[in-house]
Amino acid sequence: MLVYYSNSDTKIVKVMSFYKISDKLRLLLLATLFLIQVTEGSKAEFVTCGTILKIMNVDLRLRLHSHDVKYGSGSGQQSVTAVDVTDDTNSHWLVRAPMGETCKRGEPIKCNTNIRLQHLSTKKNLHSHYFSSPLSGNQEVSCYGDDGGEGDSGDHWTVVCNNDYWRRDTPIKLRHVDTAVFLAGSGRTFGRPISGQGEIVGISSQYGAYTDWEAKEGLFVHPSDPLTFQHAAHTEL
């Protein structure tokens, strides 16, 4: 089932307005409205393949963000930043399998496996490579890929966590597969044309500042069948 979750009470109409991304997606949501169940977050405890979500930096309280604005230095690719607003549609990311692989919609993402995060509005993937970030001089993080959302191995990230699966109530880290850096905020903010938005970078140590991320608002695709350990997971809560 598809579930939209926010930190406050959510109406069905918000689910509809949330996705003014494409006619195809909007029609899909309209066709499945009667199958949508709005629930509390505790009933959607795992991030799954096909989930569309916002990801918040735990310490900075900023959401991972992108937009059709290119870096003026480094790679010149689409910039990735962090914002403090909760209702910006440019902060939505689709959880996908790595290139050349598939995952079943609704299948929970296992810890320490690789994924891609596709920026929903521009169809490009969260990406990194050996360029310097514009403000702090760490490793640049960008968005990359063609109109179909296909890029290269620089789009692959490992979900680093200590459970069996990526839980929505537990912070994770994202390690870049090609270069082994960890997704992080730098604590610095941009000026014009993206004034006030935070710099996102890759850093070499998972113990560095601002490397913890948490799943927040989104449209979550639930597994069709209960997981074998699901009862135990509820007990722990």
Range 132-145 average pLDDT: 97
Q: How many domains does the chain have?
A: 1
Residue 224 pLDDT: 63
Say how far apart CA 35 and CA 2 lie, in whole Å.
7
Q: Which residues contact 197 (CB under 8 A, 6 or more apart)?
A: 65, 81, 82, 83, 189, 190
> pLDDT tier at 221 (50, 70, 90 boundaries)?
confident
How confident is the model over 59-80, as a mean pLDDT? 96
CATH number of the domain that 181 lies in?
2.80.10.50
Quote the CA–CA distance of 65 and 95 in Å, as a whole number: 15
Count CB atoms within 10 A of the CB of residue 110: 16
| Per-residue confidence band for 148, with pLDDT thresholds at 50, 70 and 90 | confident
Beta-sheet strands, E only, within 120-225: 125-132, 139-144, 157-160, 173-176, 182-189, 198-203, 213-221
Question: How far does Cα 218 stand from its chain's mean position?
Answer: 10
Cα dist. 114→57, 96, 152 in Å? 19, 9, 13
What average pLDDT does the segment 81-97 reach? 96
Q: Which domain holds residue 60?
A: 2-236
For the segment 29-46, what is each residue's pLDDT rounded down to a tens digit?
533 432 333 333 334 689
What are 163's two structure tokens?
A: 């459970």
Q: Does the structure show a pLDDT above 70 at 71?
A: yes
Is the pTM higher than 0.85? The answer reads no
